[in-house]
Amino acid sequence: MKLNTLLMKKVMAIALMGLLVFPLSGCSEEENVEAYYEETEYSDYDGDYEDLPEDYEELPEDYEAGDYSDDESFGIVENAYLKFAQNEELQAELASEINAKNGPIPSSYVDEDMDYYEITHNGKTMKFLMEEKGERDENGLTPLYITLHGGGESDSKDNNDQWLEMFQYYNDAVENGIYIACRGITDTWDLHFQEDSYVLYDRLIEAMIVNYNVDPDRVYLLGFSAGGDGVYQIAPRLADRFAAVNMSSGHPNGVKLINLANCPISIQAGIRDYYSADAMRSVRAAEFEQTLSDYQDKYGPGYEHEVWIHVPAGHNYVDYEDSDSMVLSNPKEFADRAVTEDFLGQFMAIAESCSLDSDVTSLSYYSDGANEEFDGLMAGYITENLGLETAIENTNAVAYVSQFTRNPAPDHIVWDLSTRASKREKDTFYWLEADPSVNSGVIIASFDSDTNTITVEPDEDVNGDFAILIHPDLVDMARPLTIKTKDVSKTFDIDPSADFLEKSMIENGDPKLACVEKIMYSSLTE
């Protein structure tokens, strides 16, 4: 049978809690191994640590394909988790890339030297601020919240100000977890999604899993303004890393969110936050209500989302704490009518009637609540004159993302290969793999547990070969596996490889994404 999900989560938690970082656990290796066997109740180990053989739970080399029982398959994965947890070389490598710093940060808020962190990989460095909050769970694990600041096309001091503000912005809403505010690696408008940024996010997450006991299934991404721009770009390229994401007040810049079938997203904007007549940030955000629903119709299940268009807000609104926020009930209607009925011109006329500057940028950035007359006229015009219905919602971004836990082995995957990070060192997406040169087309892959069958449907635009990876928490490795395409159907006996699994864990820096074998798509037609 395939490995029991709850049991594997228990093994993972024990390994991470007790073995991953000894200084955090406060336990000796002997105590941890004994606790491991006691907790899993999965060994004949008699409690005598001195009698535990070095190759405990290792499988004999003479097992043949198809001969693996549930116990034997579990033994392979069990060993791999333990080896990963005890991999001092990986721990040291990731630890060496993160350095605690103290020094000057040009900012309006700080006059003295301040503490911060840097992560450096392949000669590229990203600064970040970090705080652990609350308590860890019963397994010693904690969530990770990665946040991205606003700003962008400005000087370093202004962007540093935005970075320091982001360290506080969502912070109070996090009760338990590690809260990180990343500093964009440039001072350009796209400071959060440079080509060199993506691998830094990967390495940061891996380091948090390996050396800080972060739960890999509770990693969240949130961003505001330019940080929202970043979420739009990062989420679909690193979707298998996140349990859920929140985008506030950013612009999608043409990105497609097809890869978010298994990564819930909340999208937020103020209704008058156009930024410019061409950018139309609020309209672009509202359009995703229909777009994500269309993805469900075209690609299958998933695409959990909320689109909150705040009324009568501009660029700023309450997404950082619990609140009763007025939002549009039907964002699609706003998106459909906004251009044809020139909502922007009407909003600007209201601003002018209140003796406010009536240019588009000023309209976008007037603070909600700063002018009660303007707010009242805007709200009344939107609901009464335009007839757009509203509702009261809690738009707390942290509360939204925190309700989700990642499934590292979903039974339905949609991979848009045109939305990838070219410098990423990880070629996998859940349980699919493709060389970076394969960069067009869409692959739909699904798994039927009743028949132990994977169905793979690449469209005609996929421009190269790819692999189907065998995930131990998805596929029943004790039964023959069938892989189907529109043209062929082939059946395989799975021969789980301990070496493949261990290498997969290290390459991902995340044991929950690791697989035991791969089958090339091209081999299905041979």
* Section 342-357 average pLDDT: 95
Do the bridges between strand 467-470 and strand 432-433 make them parallel or antiparallel, or are there none, so unpaired?
A: antiparallel
d(C-alpha 512, C-alpha 193), whole Å: 25
Place of tokens 């029982």: 69
Q: Cβ atoms within 10 A of the Cβ of 359, count?
A: 13
pLDDT in tens, 446-467: 999 999 999 999 999 999 999 9
- What pLDDT, on a 0 to 100 scale, did the predictor assign at position 20? 39
Q: pLDDT at position 389, please?
A: 98
Nearest-angstrom CA–CA distance, 231 and 4:
33
36 has a pLDDT exceeding 60: no
Inter-residue contact 493 to 66 (CB < 8 Å): yes
Terminal Cα-to-Cα distance of the chain (whole angstroms)? 28
Specify the length of the chain in residues.
526
pLDDT of residue 416: 98
Asked if 278 and 413 count as a contact pair (C-beta separation under 8 A), the reply is no
**Alpha helix (H) ranges present in 213-340?**
226-237, 281-299, 331-338
User: Alpha-carbon dihedral of residues 435, 436, 441, 445, nearest 10 degrees?
Assistant: 50
Q: Is the bond into 312 cis (omega within 30 degrees of 0)?
A: yes
Least confident of 17-26, 252-261, 393-402, 404-413: 17-26
Which two structure tokens, joined as six digits, stand for 100? 């605690």
Distance CA 90, CA 444 (A): 33
Q: What is the pLDDT of residues 70-96, one digit of tens each?
A: 556 677 888 899 999 999 999 999 999
pLDDT class for 525, splitting at 50, 70, 90? confident
pLDDT, tens only, 41-56: 334 434 333 443 444 3
Say if residue 13's pLDDT is above 60: no
| pTM, to two decimals | 0.89
AA identity, residue 95 = A
Q: Chain centroid to CA 68: how far?
A: 34
In 3D space, the residue among 385, 399, 260 whose CA is nearest the CA of residue 325 turns out to be 399
CA angle 303, 304, 308 (to 5 degrees): 115
Confidence at residue 64, expressed as pLDDT on a 0 to 100 scale: 40
Q: How many CB atoms lie within 10 A of CB 518?
A: 18
Residue 27 clears pLDDT 50, i.e. is over it: no
pLDDT greater than 50 at residue 17 = no
